[in-house]
Chains A and B, each alone.
Chain A
Amino acid sequence: MPLVYDELRRVAHNYLQRERLDHTLQSTAVVHEAYLRLVGGAVEFQNREHFFAVAAQLMRQILVDYARRHRSLKRDAGYKLALDEALKLPSKEVDLVDLDDALKELARMDARQGRIVELRFFGGLSIEETADVLSISAATVERSWASARAWLYRQLNRNAAS
Chain B
Amino acid sequence: MTGERWQEIRTVLEAALAMDSEKRRAYLDQVCSSDQSLRREVESLLAADQQAQTGFLESPPLARKLEKGTRLGEYEIVSLLGSGGMGEVYCARDLRLGRDVAIKVLPADLCYDADRLRRFELEARTAAALNHPNILAIHQLGSYRGSPYLVSELLHGETLREKLKFGALSEQQAIEYSVQIARGLAAAHDKGIVHRDLKPDNLFVTKDGRVKILDFGLAKLTQRERELADTVTIREKATQPGMVLGTVGYMSPEQVRGLNADHRADIFAFGATLYEVLTGRRVFHKATSADTMSAILQEDPPRISQICPGIVFGLQRVVHRCLEKDPERRFQSAHDLAFALEALSESAISGQGRLSSQAVKAERLS
Contact = CB atoms under 8 A, between A and B. Distances in A.
B48 to A, nearest CB: 4
Contact of B225 (A25, A39, A83): A25
A48 interface: no
B83 A33 contact: yes
Q: Which label, helix, strand, loop or mixed, suits the secondary structure of the A interface? A: helix
A36 B65 contact: yes
B63 to A, nearest CB: 7
A150 interface: yes
Contacts of A21: 233, 236-237, 239-240
Given A24-B225, A86-B225, A29 B45 contact: no
A151 B48 contact: yes
A108 interface: yes
B61 A63 contact: yes
Contact of A24 (B17, B49, B229): B229
Interface string B14-58: 100110000000000000000000000000111011011001110
Contact of A147 (B45, B57, B80): B45
A151 B45 contact: yes
Residue in A77, A88, A149 whose Cβ sees the most chain B Cβ within 10 Å: A149
Contacts, number: 171
Contacts of A123: 60
B61 A26 contact: no
Interface string A29-68: 1111101110110000000000000000001000100000
Contacts of B6: 109-110, 151
Interface string B215-245: 0000000100110110111001101110011
B358 to A, nearest CB: 46
A94 B58 CA distance: 11
B112 A92 contact: yes
A3 interface: no
Given A22-B236, A90-B108, A28 B2 contact: no
Given A30-B244, A147-B17, A124 B62 contact: yes
B196 to A, nearest CB: 16
B60 A122 contact: yes
A91 interface: yes
Interface string A71-104: 0000001010011011011111110100000000
B3 interface: yes
Contacts of A124: 59-60, 62-64
Interface residues of A, number: 58
Nearest to B109: A90
Given A18-B244, A146-B14, A153 B49 contact: yes
A117 B229 CA distance: 32
Nearest to A56: B60
B232 A79 contact: yes
A108 B245 CA distance: 42
Nearest to A88: B112
A27 to B, nearest CB: 8
Contact of A18 (B10, B85, B240): B240
A86 B229 contact: yes
Interface of B: 1-3, 6-7, 10, 13-14, 17-18, 44-46, 48-49, 51-52, 55-57, 59-65, 67, 80, 83-86, 88, 107-110, 112, 146, 222, 225-226, 228-229, 231-233, 236-237, 239-241, 244-245
Interface of A: 18, 20-33, 35-37, 39-40, 59, 63, 77, 79, 82-83, 85-86, 88-94, 96, 108-110, 113, 117, 120-124, 126, 143-144, 146-147, 149-154, 157
14 contacts: A26-B229, A30-B85, A32-B85, A32-B107, A37-B83, A82-B228, A85-B228, A90-B61, A90-B107, A94-B56, A126-B67, A144-B10, A151-B6, A154-B48
Given A27-B244, A89-B109, 14 more contacts: A23-B232, A24-B228, A36-B64, A40-B64, A85-B228, A90-B108, A121-B57, A122-B60, A126-B67, A146-B49, A147-B10, A151-B10, A151-B45, A157-B48
